[in-house]
Structure 1
């Protein structure tokens, strides 16, 4: 028992001298000093006075601050500029007029997929105790220029991808609520944002949410959009109908995919095809003007939409593009299922058609799809829809004008 008590006191970090003093004093000692096994500064107190502690429980966190680490984020396109042992000049706001030298000690071999950066560690001499844990520092390397200009970043939700092209909708006139499509060049992805290398300036106003809805509206009005890069109204041979305005004639030959295809797995294409099949059933219900069946088919479409496995999209661009499309398809289709008014259902259907068209163009479903257009739909603004056959069956008018429209594009 005597040895067990002495060993327990040793586990509490008491020295032999302290234990001998306790033994020879023949008195109960309530307070005694506990010495750390290393010298340094108390960085954190882990227990409070009067608290019961267990064997092996840490009491304090001790930090040796004679040397400290500076952790820097390095973008993937900058990794080749750094190597272990390289000298780095470090500055901090606390000592604006001083520079401190350090050396690269470690470069993380794993890239952070969220920030698209790797961590670079620099060891700094801190005998003067100027660096404090948590302090922000900036590092510079000789021979590598840095750009002090403000970097323009925008949220991922603002970007539309059409193969290699990236576009946003930019407010063209600061005094008017008018937005026009603007091509941009993207830089690094930082969290949920992208750096902009070209196409936007600091202070520009862009659409950050509902971008697909704005694009669909531009497309329906014949303006510059993802589907119509040049813009301009198109004629369809129905200009003689009552209420139609005169428009300039254009080449009506069938066109192939206007958006560049992103290569995805066959499994993903098959799941997308199931969504497209539900879309066709929804279109057929609108042709028959059966609003109850329209609601039923809209709900089925959403059920299959949420079953699409995004994990099948391994490329970051494909994954992000589908996430945005899925959200817009779901919102527009749910709007159809929430009303029994056939006119309102058809109004929401034109947006569903636009989003699904984009999905099929970008990802493909290994099936020929006909994109058709009626110039009299949507109060003579015109509207598109998709079909599995070349024959025109108009979902926007039903029996009233069943064959009004024509094929404007064939998506292979």
Structure 2
């Protein structure tokens, strides 16, 4: 069999090229897949909506019962190939354990707001006993804190300019990307927090400082390669920002992931469902997959 090293779910009987990313297929043996005669063990799989993935890390929320109490504890797992609507789990779960497949973003977002360990803050695996049972809403839903509309209007240009930067990198245009990076740093540095208080204010300052530092680093990049290196921490900071305070756009935005980018894999935010890889541009433009969608919040700042 011949497989794509980037997309193991692509399996062919003969040599060819991956229809997703265009990479040449390699033999299963060269990629470490072996067949043992008589081995009837089936792999452990979970729905691909269950894991929250950032870089090489993946967290699932596992249902655990303690007497009459039901809780959902975060656990880091090692994922194998992405096969259709499932991920193979190499380690971290056992057969029969139940994992959250809907509402996991809300659990994780709630933990971040409370400054507890989460996907973005993995000091230890999170215990969600204080968060409650997961929502039955789609994982694509998220629950940013409420902020005044005039404040949200100043947030929108930050997200829009980031999206301009992402598209320019995917188009291999350093001139347009650098101009967007300069504009983005200016937009971030002009934001203030005077309308927020309490925990929201503290979270805002944390996110704003991270976003400002990342945007300034992107602004200082002198070439396309350096700008792409700075784009990953910028993308992480922006997603934290969006998770906590929303994006305020009247169209959905999506988180994409390329496991080959920057050696360890990298995420980014984009608009379209079709992958436009900012780390490789034309050389591997369609390399990656959509992992999450943050729905429209409407032109008036309300969820669409």
Match of 1:308 in 2: 191
- Residue 77 of structure 2, aligned match among 216, 220, 232: 232
Q: Unmatched 5+ residue regions in structure 1?
A: 1-217, 239-245
Please tell me whether Structure 1 or Structure 2 has the larger radius of gyration of its CA atoms.
1
- Which of the numbers 154, 157, 163 marks the counterpart of 1:271? 154
Q: Whole-Å Cα distance in 1 between the matches of residues 154 and 191 of structure 2?
A: 6
Establish whether residue 389 from structure 1 lines up as the match of residue 272 from structure 2. yes
Per the TM alignment, residue 270 of structure 1 is displaced from its structure 2 partner at its CA by: 2.4
User: Does the 8 Å contact 2:255/2:268 carry over to 1?
Assistant: yes
Corresponding position of 1:144? none
Following TM superposition, by how much is the alpha carbon of 1:282 offset from its aligned partner in structure 2, in angstroms? 0.8
2:218 to 328, 336, 342: 336
**Which whole-Å deviations, capped at 9, do the CAs of 1:215-254 have from their partners, x for residues lacking one?**
xxx94231669xx95333556749xxxxxxx974999x88
Residues 236 and 375 of structure 1: CA distance in aligned 2, closer, same or farther (over 3 Å):
farther
Give the secondary structure class of the aligned counterpart of 2:262: helix
Corresponding residue for residue 407 of structure 1: 290
Query: SS state of the match for residue 372, structure 1?
Result: strand
| RMSD value, Cα | 3.2
User: What is the CA–CA distance in structure 1 between the aligned matches of 2:164 and 2:74, rounded to whole Å?
Assistant: 30
User: Aligned equivalents of 1:372 and 1:282: distance in 2?
Assistant: 15
Give, in whole Å, the separation in 1 of the partners of 2:74 and 2:225: 30
Hey, what's the Cα distance between the residues in 2 that align with 1:229 and 1:330?
30
Q: Matches of 1:311 and 1:278 in 2, distance apart?
A: 23
SS of corresponding position for 1:378: coil
Q: Which residue of 1 aligns with 2:261?
A: 377
What SS is found at the alignment partner of 2:109? coil
Whether the aligned pair in 1 keeps the contact of 2:54 and 2:267 (CA below 8 Å) is: no
Task: Give TM-score, length-normalised by structure 2.
Answer: 0.53
Q: Contact between 2:163 and 2:270, CA under 8 Å: does it hold in 1?
A: yes
Counterpart check, 1:361 vs 2:196: no
Residues 1:232 and 1:284: Cα distance change in structure 2 (over 3 Å): same
**Partner deviation per Cα, 1:131-188 (whole Å, 9 max, x = no partner):** xxxxxxxxxxxxxxxxxxxxxxxxxxxxxxxxxxxxxxxxxxxxxxxxxxxxxxxxxx
CA separation of 1:327 and 1:401: change in aligned 2, threshold 3 A: same
Q: 1:348 aligns with which of 227, 230, 239?
A: 230
Alignment of 1:12-411 (within 5 A): 219-222=54-57, 229-234=74-79, 237=82, 248=90, 256-257=105-106, 258-260=108-110, 261-313=144-196, 315-367=197-249, 368-379=252-263, 381-411=264-294
8 A Cα contact 2:256 2:275, kept in partner: yes
How far apart are residue 331 of structure 1 and its match? 1.4
Q: How many residues align?
A: 185
Query: Contact between 2:214 and 2:237, CA under 8 Å: does it hold in 1?
Result: no
CA distance in 1, matches of 2:178, 2:90: 38
C-alpha separation between the residues in 2 aligned to 1:234 and 1:386? 22
Structure in which a larger fraction of residues adopt strand: 1
- The Cα of 1:365 is off from its aligned counterpart by 2.4
After TM superposition, the score normalised by the length of structure 1 is 0.40
C-alpha separation between the residues in 1 aligned to 2:248 and 2:81?
27
Structure having greater relative contact order (Cα 8 Å, sep ≥ 6): 2
Using the alignment, how far apart are the partners of 1:400 and 1:302 within structure 2? 28
Q: CA deviation at 1:309?
A: 2.9
Secondary structure, aligned partner of 1:312: coil
Structure 2 residue runs without a partner (length 5+):
1-52, 61-72, 94-98, 111-143, 296-304
